[in-house]
Amino acid sequence: MDMKTFLKQSAPEEREALASSVDSSVGYFYLIAGGHRRPSTDLCKRLVHAEPRLSLAALRPDVWGEKHAE
C-alpha cells in the first residue's frame, strides 16, 4: 500500500498514531502522498515496521521497485 491509499483508508487517529510512532507528522505524510516529497529510506523502513499495510516498494519505487529487484 502506498501513502495516498493509507491516508484515504485510515482514521485521523491512526494517522496521528503512525506519525508519532515514526517521529514524523501527518502533514509530511500528505506531502509524500502528493508526490511533493520522498521519504528517506530510513523513514520508509520505520513506516513499514509500524504499519505493515505499507510497503517499501510502494513508498519508494525508485529504491525498492520491481526494476530494482534484480
CA separation (Å) from 70 to 1, 20, 64? 21, 34, 10
SS3 19: helix
- State the pLDDT at residue 67: 61
Per-residue pLDDT of 10-43, as tens digits, reads 999 999 999 999 999 999 999 999 999 999 999 9
- State the pLDDT at residue 65: 81
- State the pLDDT at residue 69: 45
Q: Which pTM does this prediction carry?
A: 0.89
Scanning the chain, the segments in alpha helix (DSSP H) are: 3-9, 12-21, 26-33, 41-50, 56-59, 61-64
